[in-house]
Structure 1
Amino acid sequence: LCRLLINQGIDVVISVIGLFKELHRWNKENIPNYIEIFIDTPLEELINRDPKGLYKKHKSGEIKNIAGMDLKVDFPVDPDIHLKWSSDKTIDFMFQELLDNIKFFNK
């Protein structure tokens, strides 16, 4: 779908939990002007946030198949932009960091 929209001249932004390195490679090879952005957030922080309670449900045994817990995740090996989360960075700071990096990519 992304490739179809891009081929029609529409800019597309998608959020993906790319569990497999094959998916990362396919995206880079098949989506024109693809920019891979990896927001590297420690598992501990994801567990602390847990807005849907998925990690809590996993810990109690209610659910399975949670990325980073019982599902292995292939993190991007060579993302175009690699943003590292830390507790001292605000959302605005992270957004500005993204903008500062993305401006180097031309269509």
Structure 2
Amino acid sequence: MKNGDDLLLSIGEFWNICEVSTNAGTHLLSTIITRSTGKSAREFANERLFNPIGMKQIPSYGMKSFGFLYLNRGIWNNNQIISETWIDETTAMNSNKYGYLW
């Protein structure tokens, strides 16, 4: 190692390593959200995703609402909550056969 460049990983390589560790990818994502928004991942998700679709609870009804949001290409009550590009990206099969935490 001359200058540490061999320690640099692409995002994809890093993500694949994180998937090997239980929940490491989720913890990394939470940290990124918190540092970039100044809000906890929970606060951010509540504000931008769960509250707009009336999702107050995770079990049954809440998950049905989330599934319905995806089936409607990210639209809830005529509001685009999640971009169609994100819907496509997160539901497409990728090289690791796992997707984006699905």
TM tier, shorter chain?
Answer: under 0.3
Q: Specify which structure has the bigger relative contact order, considering alpha-carbon pairs within 8 angstroms and separated by 6 or more residues.
A: 1
**Structure with more of its chain in helix, by fraction:** 2
Task: Give TM-score scaled by structure 1 length.
Answer: 0.24
Task: Give TM-score scaled by structure 2 length.
Answer: 0.24
